[in-house]
């Protein structure tokens, strides 16, 4: 599990992070573990400087390439759902800014994250270096096929909206594993929780959400 190196990058924003945590608690996030991590990850370093002053608002923000860093409430909700029990090895599809990845890295032993847009991977990698996060592995690829040679995964999180759950993600989910994924068309999606046990898969819907679409292929 990762700890965050906050020398010089985090201390001044602690009070604003505490306010964000308070707000997430009011909105119903109950996991102290998740709230603790949101209170310690410096979200402002995952956002371009011009917008960094808004980093601790509970809102999605643009990160370039038509993509967004997810709203903290949604990050907290998905992370709380994913870690309803300890999960050692996590696969994330849609690295984006890397913020959700850093939150996962604080709770899991190892995080594998896949992003189709190469420059986003590079920027996220620099942020992980600054935080001295060492338990994250990244890949520039189409996440629709998962990351076959590293699976099965104890949990899988998809941070872009899929029309249908990609078959490869079912295949790469361990027995006892949990997949959290927004499914639906561009306007509105359902956040699905899919559990796998010896008997097969079961599914529940958690909330209506709005994510950017899960696309195909890679981009330089
Ligand atoms: N968790 C990220 C959310 C980024 S938005 C954050 O908080 O910053 C969703 C991301 O999914 C975008 O960066 C987008 O490029 C990526 N994405 C979309 N389709 C993908 C695919 N097929 N494979 C991998 N990444 C994909």
**What are 141-162's pLDDT values in tens digits?**
999 999 999 999 999 999 999 9
Q: Is the CB of 69 under 6 A from ligand 1?
A: yes
Return d(Cα 138, Cα 154) in angstroms, integer: 17
If one compares 4 and 166, the residue with the highest pLDDT of the two is 166
Q: Please name which of 184, 196, 177 lies closest in space to residue 160, comparing C-alpha atoms.
A: 184
Task: Name the closest-CA residue to atom 13, ligand 1.
Answer: 96
Largest CA-CA distance found in the chain, in angstroms, rounded: 50
CB-CB contact of 185 with 158 (8 Å): no
CB-CB contact of 164 with 179 (8 Å): no
Number of the ligand 1 atom closest to the C-alpha atom of 101: 1
Burial grade of 108 (CB within 10 A; 0-12, 13-18, 19 or more): buried
pTM of the model: 0.95
pLDDT digits (tens, 9 = 90+) for 38-53: 999 999 999 999 999 9
Confidence class for position 1, pLDDT limits 50, 70, 90: low
H or E element, residue 128: helix 118-130
Q: Is the CB of 154 under 6 A from ligand 1?
A: no
Query: What fold does the segment set 14-209 form as a domain?
Result: Rossmann fold (3.40.50)
pLDDT of residue 2: 64
Return d(Cα 206, Cα 67) in angstroms, integer: 23
Among the listed ranges 2-6, 59-63, 169-173, which one has the minimum average pLDDT value? 2-6
pLDDT of residue 13: 83
Q: Where are the domains of the chain?
A: 14-209
Q: Please name which of 192, 189, 188, 194 lies closest in space to residue 172, comparing C-alpha atoms.
A: 194
Burial grade of 179 (CB within 10 A; 0-12, 13-18, 19 or more): buried
- Distance (Å) from CA 145 to ligand 1 centroid: 14
Of residues 13, 31, 70, 97, which has the active-site annotation?
70
pLDDT at 25 over 60: yes
């Amino acid at each position: 599990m990762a700890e965050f190196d906050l020398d010089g990058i985090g201390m001044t924003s602690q009070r604003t992070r505490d306010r964000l945590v308070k707000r997430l608690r009011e909105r119903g996030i109950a996991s102290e573990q998740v709230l603790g991590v949101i209170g310690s990850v410096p979200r402002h370093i995952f956002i371009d400087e011009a917008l960094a002053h808004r980093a601790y608002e509970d809102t999605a923000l643009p990160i370039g390439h038509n993509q967004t860093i997810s709203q903290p409430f949604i990050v907290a909700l998905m992370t709380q759902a994913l870690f309803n029990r300890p999960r050692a090895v996590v696969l994330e599809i849609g690295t984006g800014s890397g913020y959700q990845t850093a939150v996962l890295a604080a709770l899991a032993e190892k995080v594998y994250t896949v992003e189709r847009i190469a420059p986003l991977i590079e920027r996220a990698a620099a942020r992980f270096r600054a935080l001295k996060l060492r338990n994250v592995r990244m890949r520039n690829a189409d996440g629709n096929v998962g990351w076959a040679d590293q699976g099965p995964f104890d949990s899988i999180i998809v941070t872009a909206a899929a029309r249908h759950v990609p078959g490869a993600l079912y295949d790469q989910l361990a027995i006892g594993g949990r997949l959290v994924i927004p499914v639906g068309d561009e306007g509105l999606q359902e956040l699905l929780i899919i559990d796998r046990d010896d008997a097969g898969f079961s599914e529940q819907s958690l909330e209506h959400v709005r994510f950017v679409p899960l696309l195909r292929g890679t981009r330089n």
